A and B are shown apart, each in its own frame.
Chain A
Amino acid sequence: MTSSRFSVFRAGISFVMMCIFYTSAVDSPELSPQTFFSTLQPGKATLVYFCQAESPRTSMFLEELNEAAKPLQDYGISVAKVNCVTEETSKYCGSEKDLMKAYLFRGNIPLREFPTDTLFDVDAIVAHVLFALLFNEVKYITTLGDLQNIENALKGKRNIAFSYVRAIGTPEHRAVMEAAFVYGTTYQFVLTTEIALLQSIGPEDIEYPHLYFFYCKPVLDLTQPCRRILMKESLTTLNIHRFIKTMEAPLLTEVAGDPRQVSTVHLQLGLPLVFIVGQQATYEADRTTAEWVAWRLLGKAGVLLLLRDSSEVDIPQDTNVIVRRAEEDTQVEFLALSHIDLIVFHLESTMNIEEMVKYEDMEELNIEIQDDEVEETVYRDRKKQLPLELTVELTEETFHATVTASDSIVLFYAGWQAVSMAFLQSYIDVAVKLKGTSTMLLARVNCADWSHVCTKQNVTEFPVVKMYKEGQNPVSYSGMLGTEDLLRFIQLNRISCPVNITSVQEAEEYLNGELYKDLVSYSSMSVLGLFSPTMTRAKEEFTEAGSYLKGYVTTGIYSQEDVLRLSSKYTVTLPALLLARHKEGKIESIPLVNVHVQDIVQIITNASLETFPEITVENLPTYLRLQKPLLILFSDGGIDLQHEKTILRLAKKKYLDSVTPCWLNLKKTPVGRGVLQAYFGTLPPLPLLVVVNLHSGGRVFAFPSDQAVTKQNLLLWLKKLEAGLESPIKVLPAQEWKPPLPAYDFLSMMDAAASEHLAQKVPECIKETDMHESDKEQPDDKSATTEESIGTLKMKHSSRSSWFEETKKPLRHDNQEL
C-alpha cells in the first residue's frame, strides 16, 4: 500500500510537469504571472493559491493562508496568491466551480495540489505542506507489517520516531511534521492514522495521538525488538522536541563532585536530575540499578550515577537518591528510598503539580473510581446483614402512634445516603448493647421511603437522631455519630436533667457517684447547682442550662432550706456550682454571679475539659476550640508517669497556659502514627513531645530527642519556641481542599460534538477533481482526501464505541502498567 502510493505520487509529478507551460503564477502577496515565474528559485518551495473571486469561503481561507505564511517562511517555504480574475486564465485557475485550490511548487515544478477544504486552518496548511515536502523523511504506513518492515530495516542503523495522529491536518500532525523537518535526517519518522495499528502496539488509550521513540540503532541482533519509549506528554512541537532531545541524551551519566553543580541537557529542558548514590565497592550493582531507573525515567528525568567515594560533597549517610529540580531556586533533595518505584513515584507526584492541564491526561485520572471513603466502605459493606430487627422501623402509619406511646429515639436516614447508612451500623450497635436493658425504644425511619414523615419532623438532611419523650419537645442529638457517644446520650437521658436532689445526704451521694452508679462511666463529671429556695431566676437559668446539656453532662439541683450546709462545706457563696470529677475523686466549687443560661453552659463545658487529657479522635474537636497550640506527648501505650507528673506540675503553675497540653496513646488512637509520619516522615522513637501550632502558621516543633523531659528543659524549650528561636520540623500544608479530581465537562463534549458535526461537513464538500477516475493523474490529492475522511471517520467511530465500552474498561485499567 505504501509503496504503491508513493509510486503514484511520482507519476503525479510527471503529469504536472507536462502542464508547466500553462503556468501563470504570482509571488507573495499578489504578483503578475510574469514576475512570479521569474521569482521562482530552483529548489525553493512555494505554496500558491489561485483565486477566482472573493467569497466568504475564500476570504476565510485567505485569512488562514496569510497566517500560515509566517510559520511556512520559517521552513523556507513562500506563499503566494494569483488573482485569476485580473490575469489571463490559466490551467491552475480552473473553472468557476472549483475555485478552491492551492498548489505547491518546488522551484517551478508543481508538486502537489490541495483542495482548499483540506487546508482548513493554519495547522492544516503547515501540516499538509510539510507532509508533501517531507515524503521521504516521513513514511506513512497503515499496517503493522509496514511498521515491522521499517523497524527491521533500520535495526543497527537508525532510530525511529513513530507517531499516530487522529487525522491528517490536525494540530498534532503539524507538530509531528515540524519535528520531522528538524530531526527527519537523523531519525526515521513513521506516521499512521490507523487506530488498529496503534492498538496492536500498546494497550494505551487510543483516543489520543501518540508518539513512540524506537531505539533501533543499538539493536544488533535482528531477532531482538527495538526498545520502545512512549511520550507521555501531549503532541506539541515543543514537547516532541524536548522528548527527542532526551532520547538523544546519554541514558546514564557517571558524575563526580557536587550534584548542585552538575548540568546536563535535561536541566536545560526543564527536567529534573536524579542522582543514584552508589559507592566504589558496589559499583556494578549500583550501575545496574541506575540503568534500570534510567530506563524507567527516560523522557521524564536525567539519571546520573554519583559515587559517594568520589564526591567531596557531604551526602547524608542514609541518602541513596538525590533529586535536583530544574527550577533554579529549589534545593537539592536528599532522599532515602527503599524501592525503585518510589523514585518514580516521588518524581511523578511532584511533577504532576507543575504540569499544565491537558485534556489528554484526563483519561489517565480515573474520575470514575470512588474516592469517598464513606461511600466506598458502605458500598463494600452492602451485603452485610445487619440485625435491623433490634430497632423498630417506623412508617407513615406507625410513626405518630409509636413516638407518642413510649419514649423513643428515632434515627432518620436514607437508604441511598452513605453517611447515614454508615451511621445506621453504629445505631444498630447501640441497639445490640442496649438490648433488653433500656426503656427507650430504638426506632428508625428510612426517609427514602417515608419522605413525608421526615419532612413533617423537619428532617431535610441525613442522618438525624431525635429523642421523643412524653410531654416534651423532641430533642435532636448533636454529638458524634458513633456508638459510644450515642449510647452515652441515651443513658444520660434516663435521668431528668437537672435532677432534683431532695436532701443533703442524697446530694453527697450524687456528688460521690453513688446515686447514679451506672452512669458514672458515661459522665466523668457530675454538676450540682446550689441555690437557696428564693433564687427563682437563677434556678430557672440553671434548669434551662441543665436541660440544654442533657445527654452530655449529668446535672442536679439542690435548693432546700438547708442548702447552706453544703455551701459552707464546700466554702462557696450561693448560688454556686459543685463539680464532682469522679475519676479524680475531687469536688470543685464555682460561685455563680449574675449568670445566664449561655454562661452556665459555658462554665460547665469548660469545666469538663481536663488539664492534661488523653487526646482521642472523639475529643480533639473539643480541645481545638480553645484555639491554642497543642503540646502533644505521643506515647506508644500508657503514659510515662514521670512525664505526666512533670507536665501536670507545670500546668498547675500556669506555665503551660499558652498551649493545650495533652497526650496521645498510639495503642488507643493508632491514627496518631499517621500524624507522626506526616511530621517526621518516619516513626520517631517514642515517647515524644511535639508542639503543633494549628491556628497560626501550622508549624510543628519537636522537643529535642536527646534531652530528658524535665521541667527545666521543657520550660526552656517552650520559651525558645515563643521567642522564635526554634525552627519547625514541619510546616503543615495550608492549601484549600480543592476538588480531588475533575468532573466530566459535558459542555465541552457538547461543543466538540457540535463542531465535529460542522467539521464533518467539510470533507463532504471536497470536490473530487475532474480527472479523479485516472488515479495516475491526481494521485496525491486523492490519497490525502481519503486519509482525511478515514481520520474523521475513525474519530467518530471511537467516540461512538465508547457508548458501550464499559465492559472493556476494567480490562484496560489492568493493563495500564506498561
Chain B
Amino acid sequence: MIETKRLGRTIDGTAILNDITVAFSKPGMYGIIGPNGAGKTTLLRLLSGVDRPTEGEVLLDGKPISAIARKQLARTVAVVQQGGLPPVGYSVRDTVALGRYPYQGWFGDEKEDAGPLIDEALLRMELMHLSDRRLDSLSGGERQRVALAQMMVQNPRVMLLDEPTTYLDIGFQLQLLDIVLEWQRERGMIVIAVLHDLNLASLYCDEMIVMKNGMMYASGSPKQIVTSELVRSVYGAEADVIEHPDGGAPQIVLRRSGAKRSTPQWMDHEVKQTIMG
C-alpha cells in the first residue's frame, strides 16, 4: 500500500503541489486526471520516491519512502515515464533485461536465470520478433511496449504510469491499457496512471483522482467523478455524459458551444460538496 500525508512541493517559491493526502490501499487501477499544470506528473514523481517533497511524506507499507534503499524500492515500485524509453542503441532484449537490475549483484549477476522471465515478457508484449532490434529503430508505440516489458520483469507491486497512451494511436492505446489491466488483475497490483483521456480513464479505472491547481479536487469511482459539472468546473468545457454500452462506464461527449475558460468560485464549492460528500 502506498499513501501520502499532507504532501507538498514548492519550487522557487511556487507551490506546485499542495496538501495531498491520499491512500492507495487496495490493488486496483487508479487514474489521476486533471488539466495541464495541475500537478499530476509532480505527484507521480513524488510517489516514485525519486523526487523529494518539500512538505509531508510518502509512505510505502507504512515506511517513509525516503528511508527505503533505491534497489529495494525498485523491487516494489516501477515507473513508466511520459514519452516512454528514449531511442538508445541497446537491443530490445538487453533493455528488457535491465528490469532485473534491482535483483542483481554488482556485475549484473543473478541467483536464478532470468531468461524465462524475460522471454515471457517479450512474448506477452508481442516483442519476440523485435528482440534483437535496437530501440532507436522502433516506433514510439513499440518502445512503449518495451518499457512495459521491462516493467514486467521488474515485477513490482506498485506501478506508476505517466500518460502511457500519449503519442499512441487509438488502437495501441486500447491494446496497452488492456495489457495493463489484465496484468493488474492477474498479480493484484496497485496501478496508478496519469491519464489525459477522461473516457479511457473512466473505462479502465476502478478509482479516479481529480487534480486542479496542485490540489486534490475530488476522488471516487468513475460514476461519481465523470459528470458534466466536474468537466465544466475543472476543465472549463461543456460536456454531456452518456453510459458506455459495455458495463455503463460514464463517457463524455464534448459540446461545441461556450467552452468557458473560467468558473465562478461558488461552482467549485458546490461541486465539491456533491462529489466528496
A interacts with B: no
Residue ranges of B at the interface with A (Cβ–Cβ < 8 Å): none
